[in-house]
Structure 1
Amino acid sequence: MKVEALKSEKVKEFVEYCRKHRMEVDDSFLYEEDLKGFEPNADNLTYILTNQEGTIIGAASLIMDEYNRRGNRARFRIFHSEIADAFYYKQLLQALLQHKEGLEKVYVFIPLQNKLLMELMEKVDFSVERCAFLLVREDSDAPEWSLPEGYSIRSFRPGEDEQIWSEVRNAGFAKLKGNETPVTKEMVTKLISSNDYIEGGMKILFHQDKPVGVVRGAADEYENAPIMNIGPLAILPEYQRKGLGRLLLRAALQFAKEKSYKKTILSVNGENERAQALYINEGFKQVEGVACYQYYLNPSLNKEC
């Protein structure tokens, strides 16, 4: 067995490996649009495990984009071996960590039903930071809602509202595990040109003239059918616990209905019990769960779900 950096001549085989095993791992960055045109580079650091015939039997690929780097971390696109042995996972990890400059940790999401992979992560000295759950609402009807006096909602204006959006999102998520790293105006701008952008799907909540909340509805797919993904949904800390999150959620549900989506989907952190309760009360049902496993390059206390 040999661990080596992914070269251009092996990219096609690597992509096929990802397709073959994406149902066993978190597939958030293994959709066809993510794999199309994939290239190993500084943003996509990738190593493969090959057998004596040169066939790929394991792969580890880190997403080291600007957002993750600003948080001094890197997220695994895939971390998998066809041989369920911690030894090979450690080999792949150590190869990646030759490039650890500027990183404090690497992390990977594991589906909760994949107990074997979770056990392997623990043998490789990963620890659980948090759990997250995927919720789906199958009812296309939107609950009635109305804004309190002094509040209004309007659609995001490209070229004008990027700073507003980033400031509200960052303040609302400042203490949310996994989302503490602030987004920039430039990152918000990229949302407008992304494949999942829906015109009018980004909404801003105002109190008088003050922006206090944001929500986004984006095009997605679940179980081979179109679905609208709701998120982020963020409220300024001083405006939380006023029922405004529910109103923003209902505004997003109404938008989904207007765009003829039969289902909506969102994700929520396990420790965010208030948000979970809100979504369930609004008709969402949990369909999947993942554990976020982290590996600190410096010693750190383990955290559990």
Structure 2
Amino acid sequence: MSTAARVEHVGPQHRHALTDLAAEAFGLSREEVVAGFGAPGTKVWLVWPGEGGDEAPAGYCRMVVNREAKSRDRACIDALFVRPEARKAGYARHLLEAALADARENGLGGIWAYLPVSLPGRFVYLSGGRKVHDLRFLKHESLLELGEPRLPAGYGIRAAALPGDARYLAELFNGIFENMWNFMPHTVETITAWYDAPDTRPENSFILEFLNGESGSPEGAGMAILAVDPNRLAAGDKAVYIPDIGVMPAHRRRGLGRLLIQASAQRARDCGAEALELIVSGDNEDVRAFYQSLGFGEVGIVSVYEWLCEN
């Protein structure tokens, strides 16, 4: 059942209401809310019962629209919350419709939602969506225990540099992740857009190379990308996220994945972070076991949903 509701974009006048909702949903502090919801490309909606009046809002939705998401013809919802006592009134549907309308107005084909909860199947079906995948959220909070990276003979590691490495990074990404559940080939243009985000910088990205003596030129062996969010660190959340890390098939089973994690931990500490976070596919037990062997613990499941604007 869906009842009358009023949905509005969040403005300065809504900050206290949003802070209360975010604290209830995720236990966030005021500083974390301000840092997270003021990021570039972020849009947030609040929903009120009926005409709104003086009542507290019943829920909120946060959507991120950046250049990388646009390259996939999608916007990304990473928060959709309705207070428990209001969940049977259809307010989540109102928030979703507002987000879809915004995506449609911006010429996007749909929305992906990455949520730390599993949505009711009936809601997903009736709203025209579908569940796409489950991801495991892993975290390591003792970075010193990972040790220092030690390169095997014949390998080197360095920070990426743009624009010179854009094509190289695209080739590495495509070779490493071609079997990933949501794989989309990267190009020079999409790699460049990748680094437009304020939390993704070339100096926080590593290229692992095999120094091929026969050809005299290095061969790409692996890569690691760190998302270092200065607002998040300033708010006291001392974690760095790794959106992409991997080794080329021809160079696997040589301890290079561990080396990339160690190099990432070292760089994270240099940035003032105390923890590393990453996600793995829910059906890839081997990869999850590898990270757990390094000391990563599972802290949650992220469910991925999709809605198309045509629906």
TM-score by length of 2: 0.73
Query: Partner residue of 1:185?
Result: 191
Query: Partner residue of 1:85?
Result: 88
Q: Share of identical aligned residues, percent?
A: 20
Query: Partner residue of 1:176?
Result: 180
Query: Partner residue of 2:286?
Result: 274
Displacement of 1:206 in angstroms is: 0.6
Displacement of 1:66 in angstroms is: 2.5
Gaps of 5+ in 2: 212-217
CA distance in 2, matches of 1:21, 1:181: 38
CA distance in 1, matches of 2:238, 2:82: 31
SS of structure 1 residue aligned to 2:157? strand
Give the alignment partner of residue 34 of structure 2, picking from 18, 32, 35: 32
Q: 1:260 to 1:80 in 2, by over 3 A?
A: closer
Displacement of 1:275 in angstroms is: 1.9
Q: 1:231 to 1:93 in 2, by over 3 A?
A: closer
Displacement of 1:84 in angstroms is: 0.4
CA distance in 2, matches of 1:178, 1:287: 22
Q: 1:247 to 1:45 in 2, by over 3 A?
A: closer
CA distance in 2, matches of 1:17, 1:105: 28
**Does the CA contact (< 8 Å) of 2:67 and 2:194 recur in 1?**
no
**Does the CA contact (< 8 Å) of 1:86 and 1:120 recur in 2?**
no
Gaps of 5+ in 1: 300-305
SS of structure 1 residue aligned to 2:179? coil
Displacement of 1:286 in angstroms is: 1.0
**Does the CA contact (< 8 Å) of 2:199 and 2:227 recur in 1?**
no
**Does the CA contact (< 8 Å) of 1:110 and 1:118 recur in 2?**
no
Query: Partner residue of 1:206?
Result: 209
**Does the CA contact (< 8 Å) of 1:110 and 1:117 recur in 2?**
no
Note the alpha carbon deviations across 1:176-224, whole angstroms, 9 max, x for none: 2345363723224435xx2575x85322101221222111344465994
CA distance in 1, matches of 2:79, 2:148: 42
Displacement of 1:158 in angstroms is: 4.6
Q: 1:105 to 1:207 in 2, by over 3 A?
A: same
CA distance in 2, matches of 1:21, 1:119: 24
TM-score by length of 1: 0.74
Displacement of 1:282 in angstroms is: 0.8
CA distance in 2, matches of 1:230, 1:98: 31
SS of structure 1 residue aligned to 2:196? helix
CA distance in 2, matches of 1:219, 1:62: 20
